[in-house]
Structure 1
Amino acid sequence: MSFRSIVAFAGVLTLWSASVAAETVKIGVTPGPHAQILEAVKPIAAKNGLDLQLVEFSDYVVPNAALDAGDIQANSFQNQPYLDNQKADRGYKIEAAGLTVNFPIGVYSKKHKSWAEIPDGGKISIPNDPTNGGRALLLLRDKGAIKLKDGVGFKPTVLDVTDNSKKLKFVEVDAAQAPRALDDVDAAVINTNYATQAGLDPVKDPILREGSEGPLRQPDRGSRRGQGQAVGQDPRGQLSHG
């Protein structure tokens, strides 16, 4: 864990504590790095009068639903395009509260030691949600494995593939199930939190990995309930932006 990551979280939590002094705040996280970083931040938050309770979710869908329903007061697991997509699709009244961290997505394989070994017609699993599935395709494009239509933005689909010289077959799976797909495919694109949870090393094990040129190299964002609300406030008590 880098010191920079801890400072990023501490800065956000210190800001929140000004609005919810001496209060317990439930924060939704996914297992792995996001949960580990916030565990390290808990004593820092406590010094500012904020008692953090972490609620772990095993997938990417439930944390925003729980936040919108008021079951938790904040979450930290997603990037801005994913949050924007969830709000547009589901009508959630949640907003980005601050910057956290982002982790490179990687391509893993149990059958091949390098991307060059992937055979023609090989099966590649990618996440089935628009944002992470698009991120997987952008990674493959950036590494020269495929070509995509111009102007696809953050959410290309397999229908946007214009050149697929290896005739790869894409298998869409739930992001949380991607590690389990490794036995059935030639390679799988896996988010770092699910990779580490499955015992994979996100630095040593990927045969391809998102680099600094990746489209989501900006930090992830935490989320909070309600436009203009401070985290921890009752959703009925709207606070305007200052």
Structure 2
Amino acid sequence: MRKKLALALTSVTALFALTACGGGNADTPSANESTPAGENTVVKVGASAVPHAQILEFVDDELAEEAGIDLEIEEIDDYQIPNQALTDGSIDANFFQHKPFFDDQVETKGYKLEHGEGVHLEPLTAFSKKYDKAEEVEDGATVVINNDPANQIRGLKVLETAGLLKDISDDDTVLSVQDDEAKNPKKLTFNEVQAEQAPKFYTDDDSVDIAIVNGNYILQAKLNIEEAIAVEDPKDNPYANFLTWREGEQTDAIKTLDELLHSDEVKKFIEETWDDGSVIPAF
């Protein structure tokens, strides 16, 4: 059985409503319930639509049944909801985040969660419709950048690699960099937005000169990769995305799913589906 639910962006209440209305058999066992003999265990997984849900759909279609599990994939287009939903038991696992984001959420919100090894990396990318390359960027250019701490520092480092910022440290933020002439010699102006909003600002707001966009939203918004002026280096990159579950609750079904996500079949699927390098296996 496979369900694909589109969850609302603004509230966990909406998540409950959509889960309740999604259909399916209420008696079907989940990953945290006992499974009658001969039935596969259902694992409810919250995931970003692209590429996470696509990877899970491949696992569900090609690998899960033989492994004794059945995935219910719930698409979530907001970075704050998946860990809330996992904590309150609405889902059994989620697949959308990397370790710096995970660590920040655990520290600031007190979530009791665990995670597996990295499955894939989506390089963060700087896009511009105005400039063909980073060297052309003019003083005072406007930059749209993520507002969450883990991805914001990541974006600042992409701009540093492109030569637009200097001497960025792990503790830097937009606020610390904005008026620091040594770190921001081109006097870039930053506009902090939620990650999922960055593509819309980029495509719809002519005042935006540069936009830092997460890989999954690049794919989802179908941005023109030829407009990229800087791309994150995948080598030794700590931002690989992984499967997450509640602390102490890695059931056999969740363990099986994590193993399937690290299979040769999934690696080949990622390489062939995103042969432009927008999604890269991390194992």
The 5-angstrom pairing of residues 32-71 of structure 1 reads 32-42=50-60, 43-71=62-90
Letter in 2 for 1:225: R
Look at both structures and tell me which one has the larger radius of gyration over its CA atoms: 2
- Unaligned runs of 5+ residues in structure 1 are 1-15, 234-242
Q: Deviations over 1:212-242 (max 9, x none)?
A: 347435x322100123542769xxxxxxxxx
CA contact (8 A) 1:123 1:171 kept: yes
- Counterpart of 2:8 in structure 1 is none
Distance 1:80 1:208 in 2: 22
Task: With the length of structure 1 as denominator, give the TM-score of the two structures.
Answer: 0.79
User: Pick from 76, 96, 113: which aligns with 1:77?
Assistant: 96
1:153-168 map, 5 Å: 153=170, 156-161=172-177, 162-168=182-188
How far 1:45 sits from its partner (Å)? Answer: 1.3
Structure 2: which 5+ residue stretches go unaligned?
1-30, 255-283
Tell me the equivalent position of 1:227: 248
Q: Separation in 2 of the partners of 1:41 and 1:198?
A: 24
For 1:196, the equivalent position in structure 2 comes to 219
The answer on 1:131 being equivalent to 2:150 is: yes
In structure 1, what is the Cα distance between the partners aligned to 2:250 and 2:191?
A: 40
Q: Report the TM-score, using the length of structure 2 for normalisation.
A: 0.68
Match of 1:210 in 2: 232
| 2:201 corresponding residue in structure 1 | 181
How big is each residue's C-alpha offset from its partner over 1:71-112, in whole Å with a ceiling of 9 and x where there is no partner? 011111110111010011111111113431111000012222
Q: What amino acid is the match of 2:46?
A: G
Distance change >3 Å, CA 144–CA 117, structure 1 → 2: closer
**Quick one: which of 138, 154, 166 aligns to 1:119?**
138
Larger helix fraction of residues? 2
Q: Look up the match of 1:8.
A: none
What is aligned with 1:240? none
Letter in 2 for 1:194: Y
Of stretches 223-232 and 113-122 in structure 1, the one that deviates more from structure 2 is 223-232
